[in-house]
Amino acid sequence: MTKKNNILLPEGFKDLLIDEALAESQLVASLLDNFRKSGYEIVKPPLIENEDSILDNLSNKIEENMFKLIDPKTQKTLCLRSDITIQISRIVSSHLSKLARPLRLSYSGDILRLKTSQVRPERQFTQTGFELIGEKSFKADVEVIALAVESLKKVDVPKISIDLTLPTFIGAILDDLEFPGKESAMIREFLDKKDLLSLKKLELSKKTDIFEVILNSIGPVEKALNTLNSLKLNSKAKELILYINDVYQGIKKLLPDVTITIDLSEYNGFEYHTGIGFTLYSPLAKFELGKGGRYQTANDENAVGFSIYLDSLLKISATNTKNNSKRILLPEDTTYKQAKDLRDKGWLTVILFQETQSILDDAERHRCEYVFFNKEPKSLLQLRKILE
């Protein structure tokens, strides 16, 4: 059906084969079930959106990472989603605008991104997450962060840590200093790269010692907040520090065993966030497990959510998912009723169509741990002893 020279996939795309596909489906099912138990109801947006309905209020960086195509039927430009959160914003501002707030929604689906990075070479992966819409209290941030950590613990992710940021904090300081646009952009870039040396080399029109303090405060929250509270900040920046402290105290109360750090220079990946942003890590993962934060919907409602990236999670959780240990090989003379009875008891049945020369060899070839022998399930070890 497929010629040998046609099996290569485009750069950044891959097939998920049996074990990985099984692991991913089990992880998604477990995560969505945990979201549902906390009142988050599932929705399923489409893979493709009209350009004019999805790109309103988006940063240029997000738009640049989207695949686009022309609809041959309407000649309109279409976008393949690169982030399901954006679609949830559209849904709650239209179809679900009249439902009671706060509204809790969950989702799972593939996303596609035009650009890759050294740490994330995939251009297609599954995004699973949840959003809390219509609540401005910091308690909403605490609920979302706690549920994110709890859900990852449910799928056996060890030693989860939380890194907090305030994407609007640097902007609040820059507004007060009134730098020209070019200087502000360069400061933002160097802060995001944690490049203090390049920042110091800039011939800036105003004093910027405050940015060195911000970079040096990256680390444990309590130490960082003590440092930041000692700074002379404008009212907007002070308000943000009080806000992140409230969130931190709420998380610490619910998750006393979780390491929490802060990095107020972090902006990459939080371009459309308007309040707190957070990233979850595990020492077993090469890069982040997921990101979340506060933003405004298309209808300007307060919202906060979290997205888990399954490509990261698969690499550290696949060994913890249910495997095929109950996979049983059925000889060709097994009746339909016998097979159904086994399936009803939780067995995964694989039936042969022809009489076998060696039931043990066939079981190993079909990756079965058990064989239906003399009308009973037998492990391969048991069957070897019987046949000796």
Taking only Cα atoms into account, the Rg of the chain, rounded to an integer number of angstroms, comes to 26
pLDDT at 208 (0 to 100):
73
pLDDT at 230 (0 to 100):
87
Burial classification of residue 96, based on how many CB atoms lie within 10 Å of its CB (0-12 exposed, 13-18 middle, 19 or more buried): middle
SS (H, E, C) 215-282: HHCCEEHHHHHHHHHCCCCCHHHHHHHHHHHHHHHHHHHHCCCCEEEECCCCCCCCCCCCCCEEEEEC
d(CA 181, CA 309): 34
Distances (CA, A) of 11 to 118, 123, 179, 222, 250: 13, 8, 41, 44, 43
Q: How many residues does the chain have?
A: 388
Nearest to 273 by CA among 251, 252, 291: 291
Q: What is the pLDDT along the chain (388 residues), one digit of tens a residue?
A: 555 567 899 999 999 999 899 999 999 999 999 999 999 999 999 999 999 887 765 666 678 889 999 999 999 999 999 999 999 999 999 999 999 999 999 999 999 999 987 778 899 999 999 999 999 999 999 999 999 999 999 999 999 999 999 999 998 998 888 777 788 888 888 998 999 888 888 766 566 788 889 999 999 999 999 999 888 899 999 999 999 999 999 999 999 999 999 999 988 878 888 999 999 999 999 889 999 999 999 899 999 999 999 988 998 875 455 566 799 999 999 999 999 999 999 999 999 999 999 999 999 999 999 999 999 999 999 999 999 8
Which helix (H) or strand (E) segment is 52 a member of? helix 51-54
CB < 8 Å & 24+ apart, contacts of 115-119: 115/64, 115/65, 116/11, 116/12, 119/286, 119/287
pLDDT at 3 (0 to 100):
57
pLDDT at 267 (0 to 100):
84
Torsion of the alpha carbons at 10, 55, 287 and 162, rounded to the nearest 10: -160
Which helix (H) or strand (E) segment is 362 a member of? helix 359-365
Q: pTM score > 0.75 for this model?
A: yes
Torsion of the alpha carbons at 203, 237, 219 and 261, rounded to the nearest 10: -140
Domain segments of the chain as ranges: 327-387
Q: Are strands 327-330 and 370-373 parallel, antiparallel or unpaired?
A: parallel
CB atoms within 10 A of CB 89: 26
